[in-house]
Chains A and B, each alone.
Chain A
């Protein structure tokens, strides 16, 4: 025999419902953190081009902090650090908050890159054709921006999903946390983590395929990168 170890997969299937429950929590936090992150990032991206220095300062500080410190530190900060201000978050709120904070920083850069990738001549051409400023924005600039940022945002979705696994260190029972809990009860770490890894892979693959289908339908395959 190759291994002097008996793999026991049956115990994993016995706990399959719990694993799925963890997976659902992972998905839930991922989706929520991306939606909230996008909302904040849109505001930050606008603030970055503001004429007020304070507004620009807030936006660039947020982006710099979110991108230059580990996500784990951000989670610790939300869970333990905020206690100093009398704010005590549940593990769920701490992970969601920290991942949203992180997402917002990265998404701001993605959005800004998307806007910068559209030449100003596009807007001038639209204005020259007699479109109003708002029309030029909605019909000419925005569709191109969406096309440019769509796949980078999908990458960020995968990142957010991987990031939620950090919830395990503060005892949140998302997929990784649930796996850790179950293996500590059954003493079968390899089997449980292996199945969890497969689940993550399946989720990521499904998300990627879905994104490609949406991109093919929506942008007629013209989404860049």
Chain B
């Protein structure tokens, strides 16, 4: 009997792409919140916090994601709280991307010149008013492209969650399941690649448009 690629398989892959997307959004959101707090904390004039969080970032950025997945998963099991692989993968992805986001956030906060911040404080703004009204608008515009790049990287890295055997399968795992059945690796992988490419491209275009919106506002103002 010859197995062929059916419409069901196509929808299976679409569903996988949806899971990839959901994973990216969820861990991107969690990771950005964590990374924001970490990056912000590192701009505080505190030697200990700076270096402790720096070490955290260093470790996250120099250990392969696969190993982080397995380590976190087995660590939770050792603690006596075994997690669903999908949830544990989601948390690992969030922690992983938070290390990268933290560096970007720190760069963004530091992109506002010190004199600008002093001027804001001199005008009578509190620390938080200065942070919210001066630092954030400047910083976000400066590092937005870098952050988009991180999110694109995150989307590609969600494919590694397969090592935990997480269900429901995301795009690459779904493709692999189909490949195992119909033994047509080239076509399926090309298809999966096309899915990733389109999703990455869509995010890039969307981000560009968002940035152009700011540019126009700047011209009006």
Contact = CB atoms under 8 A, between A and B. Distances in A.
Contact of B156 (A71, A165, A176, A197): A71
A201 interface: yes
B36 interface: no
Given A73-B172, A200-B63, A5 B78 contact: yes
B71 interface: yes
B78 A190 contact: yes
Given A5-B78, A176-B64, A204-B62, A197 B189 contact: no
B62 A69 contact: no
B21 to A, nearest CB: 14
Interface of A: 3-5, 64-65, 68-73, 76-77, 80-85, 158, 162, 165-166, 168-169, 176, 179, 189-190, 193-194, 196-197, 200-201, 203-205
A89 to B, nearest CB: 13
B214 interface: no
Contact of A69 (B162, B185, B196): B196
A69 B197 contact: yes
A197 B163 contact: no
Contact of B186 (A73, A83, A194): A83
Given A5-B78, A69-B156, A70-B156, A168 B189 contact: no
B23 interface: no
Contact-residue bracket for chain B: 35 or more
Interface of B: 58-59, 61-68, 70-71, 74-75, 78-80, 152, 156-157, 159-160, 162-163, 172, 176, 179, 184-187, 189-190, 192-193, 196-197, 200-201
Contact of A68 (B64, B65, B176, B197): B197
Contact of A70 (B74, B79, B157): B157
Contacts of B156: 69-71
A164 to B, nearest CB: 8
B64 A200 contact: yes
Nearest to A84: B186
B62 A80 contact: no
Contact of B67 (A3, A71, A82, A193): A193
11 contacts: A68-B152, A72-B159, A72-B160, A80-B185, A81-B186, A81-B189, A158-B62, A166-B160, A176-B64, A197-B59, A200-B67
A201 B186 contact: no
B189 to A, nearest CB: 5
B185 A201 contact: no
